[in-house]
Structure 1
Amino acid sequence: MKRPLTLIAAAALLIGSHDAALAAACQFEAQGEGRVTAITDARSLRLDDGREVRLVGIEPTAATKQALTTLLLGRDVMLHGSDDTPDRYGRQSAFVFIRDSETPAQAVLLAQGDAIVSAEIADKDCAAALMAAEAEARRQKKGNWADLLAIKNAESPDDILAGIGRFMVVEGKVLSVRQAGAMTYLNFSRNWTRGFAVTISRRILPAFEGAGIVLKSLENRRIRVRGWVDGNAGPRIDVRLRGQIELLGASEPTGVRP
């Protein structure tokens, strides 16, 4: 059943005029259109022509599937993206726009606090739009961000270790930066075997250098990192994309900075 346009307008207003303009940056090449007939999981849907679509750029929270159902089920949508090649599950990865809207569903979910930025988007303007939408939800403690433990403290490795295999957001002060072979370690504890650490492969160093970031300069800096938690020799997040790390100000409140 179609939902009234007032619902779509209200959803767009959650982004705000500034962030809505940024969200328009995610309008990549058109990849087709259709009507959403089913929400198959927390970030995937099925169109009336049988296509399976994965919403690119976000990771789900406990509320994402219901929010996605409310927003998109039964709606006519347009797909935009940089590559329409199906993934190994046969899904087309795309930004999903409700017809006549310039705001992707991903940005709406982020602004509601019903999703987390995955940092997989390489386009700088689009990535900035998604991060801005999430940051606004954090500022207002909406959805997922109402939980004080939504952002983990790097000084509490047991809390992070409990999330092995999950996508998490962690904040803390980098105590040391160490090189071991082709891997750089950002250590948040003096106990390297138990404490939380971030690993960065040599092959992605050019992405940081291109952004003017020397990894050694991160010592004694507060950062926010997002990614999948691994539990080998203490909790770890392997950083494969520049966007997984955000620099924080020394006196900046936890969980706020876009």
Structure 2
Amino acid sequence: MQKTLTIFFLLTSLFFSSTLLAQEQRMPSGDFSKMRKMGVFKVTEIVNPLTVKLEDGRFVHLAGLNFADLNFYEPGDLSITAMHILDDFLKNKKVTLYQTKNSDHGRKNRMDHSIGHLVRTDNDVWVQGLLLSLGVARVRTTPYNPEMAKQMLRLENTARQAKSGMWNIEEHAVLSPKEAAKHIGSYQIVEGTVNSVSMRKNKLYLNFGQNWRDDFTIAISAFNLKKFTKQKLNPQQWNGKHLRVRGWIESYNGPYIDIDHPERFEALFEQKSTMKNSQQPPDKPAPKKQQNNKPRKKDPGSALPVFND
């Protein structure tokens, strides 16, 4: 009964959200100039929140999305709600399929499903953008499909500010570094200030606490650092920076996320701090995040997406 009520309230909330989006002509569309248009196809079946079947028999995996409660044997409220949305919005509709321009990687998953973005042809609404705008999904890019990350993160942040869907449910909130330890073994979004940066055994570590042995840590291999360099990013200079990062939390000297591409990061704002290097700790523990109506400045030293939510 409780599960039914939760889904009912989610659907009701999302109905009003989608109605408002339509009234304000803000149904999400995307800029696919970095993608390759593969053709127009008819959707015949919604297999799960991440997979649809086309008329020609192929399956399409919706790139760049994560559902916080997706369990293929027992899907949660958000996943079920997403299924209802997709069924209503896509079934028997024609869509344009966009895929990465790299024909060697990123077009097929291990199940031989096509990986891509879908746009309904009759109204130009971007399917992934719709799910993010309604707050039933969050962003999860891969190294081979990062092209739409900035646009997707922008939509996710707008939904979070509006407390749409999952962003109005406490268990799906963005975590602090201290909270990360309670969520080992799951995909999460963590936000905090880098306390120290160090390079050990050909790997860069960004620590979010004063004790690297048990605090929240991000790691980037030397191989993956090259991807940051290509985008003119230097994580070695991020000490004292306030970041949002997403990924699978593992246990390795405390909660730990291994980052394999730059799109897993967002720069929130330039953190006011007295820290000058990784050896100098802050004078006192950072206070709890509070509402601040003053405009935040974009960090001029970072090319990461910047959001002020």
Bin of the TM-score, shorter chain as denominator length: 0.7 to 0.9
Give the structure 2 partner of residue 32 of structure 1.
39
More strand by share: 1
* Aligned counterparts of 1:39 and 1:246: Cα–Cα separation in 2: 32
What's the offset of the Cα at 1:103?
A: 2.9
TM-score normalised to structure 2 length: 0.70
Identify which of 150, 163, 188 aligns with 1:128. Answer: 150
Task: Give the letter aligned to residue 98 of structure 2.
Answer: H
CA contact (8 A) 1:175 1:219 kept: yes
| Higher-Rg member (1/2) | 2
Task: Give the letter aligned to residue 132 of structure 1.
Answer: R
Which sections of structure 1, spanning at least 5 residues, go unmatched? 1-6
Give the structure 1 partner of residue 97 of structure 2.
79
Identify which of 163, 167, 187 aligns with 1:167. Answer: 187
What's the offset of the Cα at 1:239?
A: 0.7
* Aligned counterparts of 1:169 and 1:85: Cα–Cα separation in 2: 26
For residue 168 of structure 1, give the secondary structure of its aligned residue in structure 2.
strand
Judged with a 3 Å threshold, the aligned counterparts in structure 2 of structure 1 residues 208 and 14 are, in CA distance, closer, same or farther, namely farther
TM-score normalised to structure 1 length: 0.82
Give the structure 2 partner of residue 94 of structure 1.
116
Identical-residue share of aligned pairs (%): 24
For residue 170 of structure 2, give the secondary structure of its aligned residue in structure 1.
coil
Task: Give the letter aligned to residue 59 of structure 1.
Answer: N
* Aligned counterparts of 2:24 and 2:197: Cα–Cα separation in 1: 37
What's the offset of the Cα at 1:20?
A: 4.2
* Aligned counterparts of 1:244 and 1:174: Cα–Cα separation in 2: 15
Root-mean-square deviation (CA), in Å? 3.0
For residue 92 of structure 2, give the secondary structure of its aligned residue in structure 1.
coil
* Aligned counterparts of 1:69 and 1:192: Cα–Cα separation in 2: 47
User: Once the two structures are superposed, what CA deviation does each residue of 1:123-174 show, in whole Å capped at 9, x if it has no partner?
Assistant: 3xx322111111110110111111234211112233232xx1x221110111
Task: Give the letter aligned to residue 146 of structure 2.
Answer: A
Q: Which has the higher contact order (CA 8 A, sep 6+)?
A: 1
* Aligned counterparts of 2:200 and 2:240: Cα–Cα separation in 1: 20
Which sections of structure 2, spanning at least 5 residues, go unmatched? 1-15, 70-77, 273-288, 293-306
Judged with a 3 Å threshold, the aligned counterparts in structure 2 of structure 1 residues 15 and 217 are, in CA distance, closer, same or farther, namely farther
* Aligned counterparts of 1:14 and 1:39: Cα–Cα separation in 2: 27
